[in-house]
Structure 1
């Protein structure tokens, strides 16, 4: 999918969030002057958001990444294939266009294979293990959804609250999916997803926001505040809702002679992506 049609579609999917609403949940209190949206308005907004999300399930793209960690900065190019709910494959492109690193998850297992060094890292697809490789403490499903322009958590009717709009013309949507909580800010104009925060309990794990990048494209910014890590993601090319072969997400066995690092055994990885 290319041209104006695909640009419009990508602009659409990066403004999507899921539906749901409920009252009386155990959230961190908002500011006292934050108005709760009425139940009819909440239902209408969440129904519209749910219809939008149903339009996107998978993505194949070439991404340009700018990674900033404290005082260092690095540029990378990645080929990504993702499919909801939690299938993901990332390939780092090195000099000469050769693949230097493969990261893949089938939702249950996670691997990272550095081809040149022949280092094979494996473990359960937990947020802790994802953090050991990427620096971002999220589950594969969180990352898949963010790259599709969706919030990291599903928003369910019984575990969501809606506030606003506020003086910045944005609605605040909050939802839970144990042990995580998310706060999302949506434009009151077209309900596009502007920015958000992901918490593990009461600890802030991730900030993210979307920003226009010309021709209807939107850039994704990820920030891990504790480790002072930020990742800027721009879409060089993409194909929305492709039919992706299952082999892309199959977890391979370590190559012969590979140095194997088992994350579940508490071993530290010898490389880091991004």
Structure 2
């Protein structure tokens, strides 16, 4: 009767490590592919929705925001009325009430509403800058010009709106314009699209961990095929490194995903919005 020699424990652990790394790599690849696909769809939805919300911000009030001097065809100066959009009226009411918290972000929504006409926007930006200074916000006043110069992405645009809606600022949450915007947010599932795009941004920070897992995957395959050629002490050392790689990667990925789904501070959201604007990437704010 032939007795089959018992395999050493290190061999079983080697197979286990191989399976773990294979499953982890397949999991990461699946998550990556699904997230990229969903992000592409969500980004397209946000791009299509942005003009709709811009139109809401541009709602007519029948009032004049400013009077600017322009040249007529013969070179003479003449007065031109700058129409007041609904979002600009909300901003002015906020300034008049003395409420200045997050006034900067409301101001850049005004910029978005006047984005289509550079001459109007320049006049409005000057007025908003003066208002920020009068409210004791000189740093925000300096930020306003570069913020308004850049046509920010739909993702940043909707994050700013959501930021203001969540903050429950008195002259924002009670205003009919923002109540209507809130209804549109729900009807078009804007928050869901923002969450999807936010997860994609988190995924970009996971690239180095995917590379780490891929390296561990290769190591586990080599360990499996050449375990008979290496001393047992070396096998244990490599195996422990692989298991540590699996555990640490899962721990880090869990923390990254929790950061995305957990409630975030307004300062953190504000920093994200600024980081998405080119003029603010080159210097701290």
TM-score between the two structures when normalised by the length of structure 1: 0.26
Q: Which structure: larger Rg?
A: 2
TM-score between the two structures when normalised by the length of structure 2: 0.25
More strand by share: 1
